[in-house]
Structure 1
Amino acid sequence: METIKKCLFFLLPLFVFACKSNQQKGDILYFGGNIITMEDEFPEVEALVLKGGKILFVGSRKNADAYVGDSTKQIDLKGKTLLPGFIDAHGHITSRAGMEQAVDLSPSPYGTVNSIPDLQKALTTVIQQLKPGSSIPILGNGYDDAIMIEHRHPTRKELDAVSTTHPIIVIHASGHASVVNSAMLTLLGIDENAKDPEGGHYGRTSDHRLNGKLEENASFAALVKLTEMMPQPKPAKNQLSQSLKDFVKAQDEWLSYGQTTICDGRSMGVSIGLLKEAANKNLLKADVVYFPDFEANKADWESFKPNYMRYERRLKFGGFKFSDDGSPQGKTAWLTQPYLIPPEGQSADYKGFPIFSDETLYNDLKTVFSNHITAQLHVNGDAAIDQALRVISRLKEEGIYKPELRATLIHVQNSRPDHIAKIKEIGVIPSYFSSHVYLWGDWHYQSVFGPKRAAFISPAQSAKKAGILFTIHHDSPVTPPDLLTGVYAAVNRTTRSGMVLGPNERIDVRDALKAITINAAYQYQEENDKGSLKEGKLADLVILDKNPLTIDPKKLRDIKVLETIKEGKVVFKRD
C-alpha cells in the first residue's frame, strides 16, 4: 500500500501537467477592466475567455492562463467595463425601420421639434428640399404634445397650412395616435360621416367635423392602408430593397446601444415578411424575437407554431402580442379614474378606453395558452392592468395558464399598489418602461395622473420587495433603443425638470442592470444561454466606457457603448 502511495505522489504532477496541456485554448481573452457577470455568486471577475462564440472561462486572471494558447487573442480592456449584452425586452424594430424615411419630429432631448411651428417648418423644409410630386404622401414621426410648448396635438387645419395637395400624416411619439391633413383624409377614404372603428377614435371639432386626429385602431388602420397603397420600387439586381436597407440601419442603431437580442413587438402585415426576408438573406447580426399581433394574424395563427422558441437564422417566434389599451402620455390609456386634465374634446370624466372586451381577450388568450405559447400584453392604464390580471387569473384557475409560460405585462405604467400581490400570485412578468419617469414624469404629474398616481408609475422597487422578477424596456421607436436611459430613470426617478418622482420606487444600479440582462433572458426563456457571463453561455457582450456600478448614478445616461459583441464577433464598434 505504501508503494502505491509513493507512485501516486510522483505521478500526480505528471497527471496535472497532462490535464493542463490538454486544456481547451480560447479564441479571445478579455482582462484588465471591470468584468461584471450578473451572476450573484461571482458578481465581478478579472478575466473572461471565449471560444467558438461561447464563454469558456470566467474567473481570475491567473487561472485564465491555462486557457491561453499561441493563437488566443488577448484584449486588454484598459479599465473599461464589460457586461453581458443587453437584451431588448420590448421594442419594435420593424416599426423603427419603417420610419427611417419619415420626417423626424422628435422633441428634445432626442430631437428639435418643440412646438407646432417647429413641426410645420420641419415638414415644409422636407417638401421644399425633396420636391416630391404634388400627390406624394408625406410621413412624419415622433411629435409629442407632452413636450411641445402648446401641450396639444397639431390639427388638420395646421397640417393643411403646410400643404393642401400632399397627403400628410404625422405620428405621435407613443405610436398610438396620428394627425392627418385634408388631402390624407381624402386619400384614405375617410369622410365626415365616418364612424369610429372598434378600438379606435376619430377626433372632431366642436361642430363635429373631423379635426384630423386618429387614435388607436383608427391610426393603425390608416397606416396599414397607406403602406399597402405605397408599393416599394423593385430593387436593382443584387441590391437590397429600401425596406431591407432601412431594417439594416435600424438594426445597427440597436447594436450601437449594446443590444445583442432585439424585439419586434406587435409584428403584422409586411413586417413579418420583412423579418423573414432579412433572416433568409443572413442580414441579422443580433438575435431577433418577434411577437405577431394576435388579432391581425388570427386567421393563420397556427402557422407560427412550428418556429415557437426556436431560432432559425437568428429569428425566433417568441409568442403573441395583445394591445389592451393605449398611451398614458397620449391620454388614450384605459384608466379607472379620470385623467387629471382630459384631452381636447373630452369631458372631465374621460378615462380612455379599452381595445378588447373581457370575453374577447379571454377567448384569444385561451387559444394561445392552451397551445403552450406565451404572450406579451400591452397594458398602460390601471383598468387595462385589471382586465389582464382578471382574465389571466381566470385562465390560471382553469388550469390553462401556467406561470412557466412567463406571460409579460408590457409597460404597466398606471400600476396601483394592489396590483403587485396579484402579479406575484398569478405568475406574470412586469416589464417597465422606466424612461417614462425621466421623459414624461412632469407631464404625468401635472396633466395625466396627478402627484399620487404619477409617483407609482414603473414601480420597480415594489416589485423587487415582493420578490417579483421584472424587466426594463425602451419601446423604440417611442424612444431611441436606449436601455441605459431606462436604467438611469429606474435608479434616480428624476424627471426632466429635476423633480424626484416616487423616490420610494428607486432601485439600485445592479438590479436595473439585471432587468436588461439576466431578467430579460428569463422573460424570453433563454436564461440558460444569455443574460450573464457564465461558462457555456453565448459570448454576447457589451463594453462600456465607464462602470455603471461606480459612476455617479446621475451620470448613467452619459455612459457610452464602445463595442457590442455577438457570439464573440464584434458587431458594433464606436469610432
Structure 2
Amino acid sequence: MKDIGRRRFVGAGIASAATLTPLQHVLAETGSLQDIGGSIVSLPQATIYTAREIITLDDARPTAEAVAIVGDRILWAGTLEDVQRVLGDQPYEIDTTFADNVIVPGFIAQHDHPVLAALTMSSEILAIEDWVLPSGTVPRVKDKQEFMERLAKAESEKSNPDEPLLSWGYHPAFYGPLTRSDLDTISETRPILVWARSCHEMVLNSAAMERGSVTRDKFEAFSPSAKEQSSFQEARFWEQGLFAVLPNIANMVATPERLRSGLEITRDYMHAKGITFGNEPGGILSKPVQDGVNEVFSNPDMPFRWSFIVDAKSMVATYSDDAQVIAETEKLASWYGGMTSLAPKQAKLFADGAIYSLLMQVRDPYLDGHDGEWMMDRDLFERAFRIYWDAGYQIHIHVNGDAGLDRVLDTLESNLRRNPRYDHRTVLVHFAVSASDQVERIRALGAIVSGNPYYVTALADQYSKVGLGSERADSMVRLGDLSLTGIPWSLHSDMPMAPADPLFLMWCAVNRETTSGRIAGADQRVPAEMALRGVTIEAAYALRLSDEIGSIEPGKRANLTILDENPLSVDPAMIRDISVWGTVMEGRVLPVSERTQKASLTPTLAPNSLADEEVNRAMLNHALMVVHTHL
C-alpha cells in the first residue's frame, strides 16, 4: 500500500474535507492523516472479516469475500487479496468467525413502533393468531365466546382489584361487535380496556369510563370528527375518537413497568431479526415518556440505533403560529441522546384510516357500502403539509386507500407548483390500495413508497370476500408496478402490526403468498435482490441515510447482518426460514444470544386469519402524552 497510499492520500494533496473520497474520510476520521504533504502515521488496527459470501449492494463491487473494518467504519470490501493490498502496512487481523456465513448490509427497520410493541406485547394478548413470546406461545382466539372466557379468566387471576386489565387483539370482523355491556358482564368494578387488533379502536367497560372520567359532557366537547368516530353508549372509540379519549385513559394503558419490560422484549426481538438501525415515524411528544424509552434504547450497549420522526399532526394541532411549529419541532432534538436521535428535517403526517379495520378511504365503495375515515381533516392536513414543505422537510405520509392517495398526491402537486423543490423525497407510507393510474403520477411528482408487503399475506384472502373484493385485495402493495416505473420503494413492518422481521418482509414481497397458500397478484411479485434492497439501501434512502448505511461500501458505518444462507440464491419460499447468526453494529460483533433467540414475536398465522394491523403511531403519542404522571 506504500505507493497506493502516497499517491492516493499524501502525494495528491488533500485540499479540504469536501475533496476526500469515502476511504480518505475513514482514515481522516481515525486520525491517520497528518497535514497536507505529511506522511501517514499511527494507523489503527483493522479487522478483516471473511465470509462464504458477502452481498454488498455496492454497484461498483456487488459481491466480496472479505470486508475490512476500522473502528465503526468500513474501510474496504472485495477479495481478500484486494483488501490486504489496500491495507498495505496498516496493522490488521483476519477474523474467520463468519467464514461459513453470508454477510449482507445491516437490516433497517424503517418504520416500526417500539413503544406500541412494548405495550401490546406486555398486555393480555387475545388475538386472531398465535403469538410466540419469550414466555411461551399465546394461542389465537377462535371466536367471541372464547374471547370472553379467556378475558374473564385473566380478570379473575388479578389479585389487585384496582388494577386495570388491558387486552389487545380483538377483531370485530372475526368475532363480531364488542361493546361496553359485554365487558361489564366480566367486571363492573375493575377497569377493562380492549385494544382492537387494529390499534385504531378501543372498547371500555363502565369502570374504565369512570376511572378515566369519560363523561357525557366530555364526549360532547369532542370535535365533530371525533364524535362521529365514537360511540359513548357502547364506550367504543376509533380513529379520531380514540385520539380524543386517549388522554383520559392513557394511565391505564401505559405504566413504567409495562413500558420497560416491553421495550426490552422488543429490543431483543429486533436484534434476533438482524436489525442494525430502526426508526419511529411520529416520535413521542411526551418528554417523560421519551426519557423512559431512552432508559432502554439510548444505552450504549443497544444492538442498534433508533431515530424518531416528529409527529407533525400533533405539532400543527398544538401551535397556531407556523413559525412556532418549526421552532418547537427543532427543539425536540434535545430529547434524544446516545443511541437515539431525532431524524433531522423529517415529519410524519396522516391521510386516511387503517387497512385492517377497513377504514381507509377508497375510490370505489366497500362491498358492504360503509365509508372510510380520515385521520386528519383536510384543512389541518394541508396546513401541516405546507408548513413543513416550506421549511424544507421531507414528509412521510401514512396513506392506505386510493382515495386517500389522491388527496396526498393532489396536496403534493399543489405545493410543488407553488414552491418547487428538488429531491423532496416525499414518502408514501403503507401503500395498501392504489390504482394503476396513480403509479405514473407518483413517479412524475417525485414521491417514493414505503410499502408493507405483509398486507397481501395477511389480508388478501379475507378482503377478497369482505371489504375490497378480489381484484383490489390481490393488487394491494403493487411493488411490481413501482419497479417497472422506476419508483424507489422500500419495505417496513409497522411492528407490532406486522413482524419486525426483514427476512419475513422479503419473503412476503417476493412470493405474495396468502395464508391459504395461493399467490395474490403474481405480477406484483419482485425479485429477491429488490426485496433485499427494500430492507437495506432503499430503506436508508427513504430516511436520507444512504450515504451512511444500507450497503457495504468504504466510509459507511460498519453495519452488517450475518446470515446462515444467501437470501438471493435460496429457494424464494425459504427466505423467511433463513437463520440470523447476529450482527455487526458499527464494528461491534453482536451474536444472537440464546435469550434473544427465544424472544420471537412472529405470529403463527391460521388460514384466512387477519395477521397484523395497520397502526396509527400518532394515536399512541396522544395516549402517552399524559403518562408523565406515572413516570
Would the TM-score normalized by the shorter structure come out above 0.5?
yes
1:304 aligns with 2:329: yes
Per-residue CA deviation, residues 213-256 of structure 1 (Å, 9 max, x unaligned), is: 321122233333222468857xxxxxxx6634433332222222
1:320 aligns with 2:341: no
| Amino acid paired to 1:174 | S
| Amino acid paired to 2:428 | L
Q: Match for residue 145 of structure 2?
A: 117
Q: Name the CA distance, whole Å, in 2 between partners of 1:489 and 1:569.
A: 30
Whether contact under 8 Å (1:141, 1:173) holds in the other structure is yes
Q: Match for residue 190 of structure 2?
A: 166
Per-residue CA deviation, residues 456-511 of structure 1 (Å, 9 max, x unaligned), is: 21011100111100011000111231222221111111100112111110000000
Q: Match for residue 464 of structure 1?
A: 483
Q: Name the CA distance, whole Å, in 2 between partners of 1:380 and 1:54.
A: 38
| Amino acid paired to 1:179 | V
SS of the residue 1:372 aligns to: coil
1:281 Cα deviation (Å)? 5.6
| Amino acid paired to 2:276 | T
Q: Name the CA distance, whole Å, in 2 between partners of 1:225 and 1:269.
A: 16
Q: Name the CA distance, whole Å, in 2 between partners of 1:251 and 1:424.
A: 36
Q: Name the CA distance, whole Å, in 1 between partners of 2:564 and 2:172.
A: 34
1:358 aligns with 2:351: no
Whether contact under 8 Å (1:93, 1:262) holds in the other structure is no
Q: Match for residue 258 of structure 1?
A: 274
1:548 Cα deviation (Å)? 0.9
Per-residue CA deviation, residues 185-220 of structure 1 (Å, 9 max, x unaligned), is: 33333456845644445678xxx8733432112223
Relative to structure 1, the CA distance from residue 363 to residue 163 in structure 2 (aligned partners, 3 Å threshold; closer, same or farther) is same
Whether contact under 8 Å (1:157, 1:181) holds in the other structure is yes
Aligned pairs for 1:386-535 (under 5 A) are 386-399=406-419, 402-535=421-554
Whether contact under 8 Å (1:27, 1:50) holds in the other structure is yes
Q: Which moved more, 1:443-452 or 1:32-41?
A: 32-41
Q: Name the CA distance, whole Å, in 1 between partners of 2:563 and 2:431.
A: 29
* Percent sequence identity over aligned pairs: 24
Q: Name the CA distance, whole Å, in 1 between partners of 2:363 and 2:248.
A: 33
Relative to structure 1, the CA distance from residue 544 to residue 309 in structure 2 (aligned partners, 3 Å threshold; closer, same or farther) is farther
SS of the residue 2:234 aligns to: strand
| Amino acid paired to 2:117 | R
1:132 aligns with 2:156: no
1:410 Cα deviation (Å)? 0.9
Q: Name the CA distance, whole Å, in 1 between partners of 2:236 and 2:335.
A: 40
Q: Match for residue 236 of structure 1?
A: none
1:52 aligns with 2:77: no
1:40 Cα deviation (Å)? 2.8
Q: Name the CA distance, whole Å, in 2 between partners of 1:30 and 1:14.
A: 23
Q: Match for residue 385 of structure 1?
A: 405
Whether contact under 8 Å (2:432, 2:477) holds in the other structure is yes
Relative to structure 1, the CA distance from residue 219 to residue 422 in structure 2 (aligned partners, 3 Å threshold; closer, same or farther) is same
| Amino acid paired to 1:459 | R
Q: Name the CA distance, whole Å, in 1 between partners of 2:167 and 2:4.
A: 67
Q: Name the CA distance, whole Å, in 2 between partners of 1:422 and 1:17.
A: 49
SS of the residue 2:355 aligns to: coil
Aligned pairs for 1:39-118 (under 5 A) are 39-66=58-85, 67=87, 72=93, 74-110=95-131, 111-114=138-141, 115-118=143-146
Q: Which moved more, 1:67-76 or 1:113-122?
A: 67-76
* TM-score, normalised with respect to structure 2: 0.79
Provide the aligned length of Structure 1 versus Structure 2. Answer: 541
* TM-score, normalised with respect to structure 1: 0.86
1:49 Cα deviation (Å)? 1.4
Q: Name the CA distance, whole Å, in 2 between partners of 1:368 and 1:560.
A: 41
1:272 Cα deviation (Å)? 3.8
Aligned pairs for 1:220-231 (under 5 A) are 220-228=243-251
Q: Name the CA distance, whole Å, in 2 between partners of 1:262 and 1:105.
A: 27
1:391 Cα deviation (Å)? 0.7
Aligned pairs for 1:175-254 (under 5 A) are 175-191=199-215, 194-195=219-220, 197-200=223-226, 210-228=233-251, 243-254=259-270
SS of the residue 1:385 aligns to: helix
Whether contact under 8 Å (1:179, 1:212) holds in the other structure is yes
Relative to structure 1, the CA distance from residue 320 to residue 198 in structure 2 (aligned partners, 3 Å threshold; closer, same or farther) is farther
Q: Name the CA distance, whole Å, in 2 between partners of 1:14 and 1:26.
A: 16
Q: Name the CA distance, whole Å, in 1 between partners of 2:192 and 2:79.
A: 60
Q: Name the CA distance, whole Å, in 2 between partners of 1:192 and 1:15.
A: 81
Whether contact under 8 Å (1:325, 1:380) holds in the other structure is yes
Q: Name the CA distance, whole Å, in 2 between partners of 1:119 and 1:560.
A: 34
| Amino acid paired to 2:282 | R
SS of the residue 1:390 aligns to: helix
| Amino acid paired to 2:313 | E
Q: Name the CA distance, whole Å, in 1 between partners of 2:493 and 2:329.
A: 26
| Amino acid paired to 1:295 | K
SS of the residue 2:313 aligns to: coil
Structure 2, unpaired ranges of 5+: 9-39, 132-137, 595-631
SS of the residue 2:442 aligns to: helix
Q: Which moved more, 1:23-32 or 1:102-111?
A: 23-32
1:309 Cα deviation (Å)? 13
Q: Name the CA distance, whole Å, in 1 between partners of 2:76 and 2:42.
A: 11
| Amino acid paired to 1:313 | G
Relative to structure 1, the CA distance from residue 33 to residue 199 in structure 2 (aligned partners, 3 Å threshold; closer, same or farther) is farther
1:102 Cα deviation (Å)? 1.2
Relative to structure 1, the CA distance from residue 171 to residue 44 in structure 2 (aligned partners, 3 Å threshold; closer, same or farther) is same
Q: Match for residue 600 of structure 2?
A: none
1:570 Cα deviation (Å)? 3.0
Relative to structure 1, the CA distance from residue 315 to residue 280 in structure 2 (aligned partners, 3 Å threshold; closer, same or farther) is closer
Relative to structure 1, the CA distance from residue 80 to residue 566 in structure 2 (aligned partners, 3 Å threshold; closer, same or farther) is same
Q: Name the CA distance, whole Å, in 2 between partners of 1:465 and 1:311.
A: 40
Whether contact under 8 Å (1:487, 1:513) holds in the other structure is yes
Q: Which moved more, 1:446-455 or 1:94-103?
A: 94-103
Q: Match for residue 329 of structure 1?
A: 356
SS of the residue 2:282 aligns to: strand
Q: Name the CA distance, whole Å, in 2 between partners of 1:554 and 1:120.
A: 37
Relative to structure 1, the CA distance from residue 452 to residue 165 in structure 2 (aligned partners, 3 Å threshold; closer, same or farther) is same
Whether contact under 8 Å (1:25, 1:72) holds in the other structure is no
Q: Which moved more, 1:260-269 or 1:432-441?
A: 260-269
| Amino acid paired to 1:108 | E
* TM-align CA RMSD: 3.1
| Amino acid paired to 1:412 | F
SS of the residue 1:351 aligns to: coil
SS of the residue 2:157 aligns to: helix
Structure 1, unpaired ranges of 5+: 1-12, 234-240, 342-347
Whether contact under 8 Å (1:248, 1:283) holds in the other structure is no
Q: Match for residue 9 of structure 1?
A: none
Q: Name the CA distance, whole Å, in 2 between partners of 1:186 and 1:541.
A: 51
SS of the residue 1:297 aligns to: helix
1:315 Cα deviation (Å)? 2.5
Q: Which moved more, 1:484-493 or 1:459-468?
A: 484-493
Q: Which moved more, 1:101-110 or 1:523-532?
A: 101-110
Q: Name the CA distance, whole Å, in 2 between partners of 1:43 and 1:247.
A: 36
Q: Which moved more, 1:270-279 or 1:303-312?
A: 303-312
Q: Name the CA distance, whole Å, in 1 between partners of 2:229 and 2:265.
A: 34
Q: Name the CA distance, whole Å, in 2 between partners of 1:429 and 1:309.
A: 29
Q: Find 1:564's aligned residue among 583, 588, 592.
A: 583
Q: Name the CA distance, whole Å, in 2 between partners of 1:83 and 1:537.
A: 14
1:275 Cα deviation (Å)? 4.3
1:154 aligns with 2:178: yes
Q: Name the CA distance, whole Å, in 2 between partners of 1:423 and 1:182.
A: 47
Per-residue CA deviation, residues 18-69 of structure 1 (Å, 9 max, x unaligned), is: 9999895654322132211122332221111111011111000222334497
